[in-house]
Structures are given as C-alpha cells and as structure tokens.
Amino acid sequence: MQSERENGYLLNLAQADQAEESADYDTAKALLEDAIRQQPGRVDGYLQLAALQYRTGDYQGALDQLDSAVSSGSLNEKNLSAASVEKLHFIKGNCWLELQEYDKAVQELELAAQQQGAGAESYRSLAIALANAGRLDEAQKTLETLRK
C-alpha cells in the first residue's frame, strides 16, 4: 500500500512536469495538488507547485501555499535538506521581488543564500533584491561573491 501511494505521488509529479511543458498549467496544478494530498509530508510537491505558481505569475498564491504548508506543520525546515530549504526561500524571495516587496525579498533570499551549497541563482536574486531595496553596496558585495 505504501509503495502504491509513493508510486502515485511520483507519477503525479512526473505528469505535472509534462503538463507544464505542454503549457497545460491547470492540469499541472491539479496533479500537484493531488500529489500533496497523497503525501502531505513530502516537500517536492509543495516546491513544484510553488514554482509553477511563480512561473505562471501567481506570486501571492505561491507565497500563501508555502506559508500554509509551513504553518500547518506539513513542511518543517528542520526536516528538509539544505537544497530544499534554499529552494523554499528562493521561490518566496523571487515572489516578493515580483510583488515589489524588496525588504521581504531580501530577507527570504538571504536565507536561501545562507544554505550550504547555495546556487548562483540565489546570490543573483539576492543582489537584485538588495539593489531594489536601495542597498547598492551590499548588492555589489553579493555580486562579487559570485565572481570568486
């Protein structure tokens, strides 16, 4: 039974990827929501849904969905890998950037960049958020970190 549920969860994630690639965003969203219902303690579905919402311009929806998952206890950062924590804060930070809430974006993207093995994308987005928040010296220092 457990492996059937696991297989169904992974199948939904894979089919959601395919639906998104075909620009069938409603189907992708429905598949991801179903995956989350099947395995509410798994991070992949939440992050994939939030990334889909971000890519389709539903920035507030992505933020609300991630915040709800964290506040309900479905997502607990202490139980996540550094890569998943980075992605969580990266998505939230970029949503705040799009919503022009630059201080909130900086806060989230600093958390993303602090994760072990953080990617260049987190630093780049952090530099953009810092510049938009008027913190140009810090933005420059962040960009210099990328050049090293």
What confidence score (pLDDT) does residue 142 get? Answer: 95
What confidence score (pLDDT) does residue 2 get? Answer: 64
Residue 122 carries which DSSP code? H
52-93: per-residue pLDDT in tens?
999 999 999 999 999 999 988 888 888 899 999 999 999 999
Helix spans in 43-119 (H)? 43-55, 59-71, 82-98, 102-113
Please tell me the distance from the alpha carbon of residue 96 to that of residue 111, in angstroms, as a whole number. Answer: 14
Half-sphere exposure of 47 (CA within 13 A, CB side): 18
What confidence score (pLDDT) does residue 89 get? Answer: 97
**What share of the chain in percent tops pLDDT 90?**
83
Tokens for 132, please give them: 């938009």
Q: How far apart are the first and last CA of the chain?
A: 49
What confidence score (pLDDT) does residue 146 get? Answer: 82
Please tell me the distance from the alpha carbon of residue 112 to that of residue 130, in angstroms, as a whole number. Answer: 14
Q: What is the pTM of this model?
A: 0.92
Which residues of the chain fall short of a pLDDT of 50?
none
Please tell me the distance from the alpha carbon of residue 70 to that of residue 4, in angstroms, as a whole number. Answer: 26
Distance of CA 129 to the CA centre of its chain: 16
What confidence score (pLDDT) does residue 7 get? Answer: 87
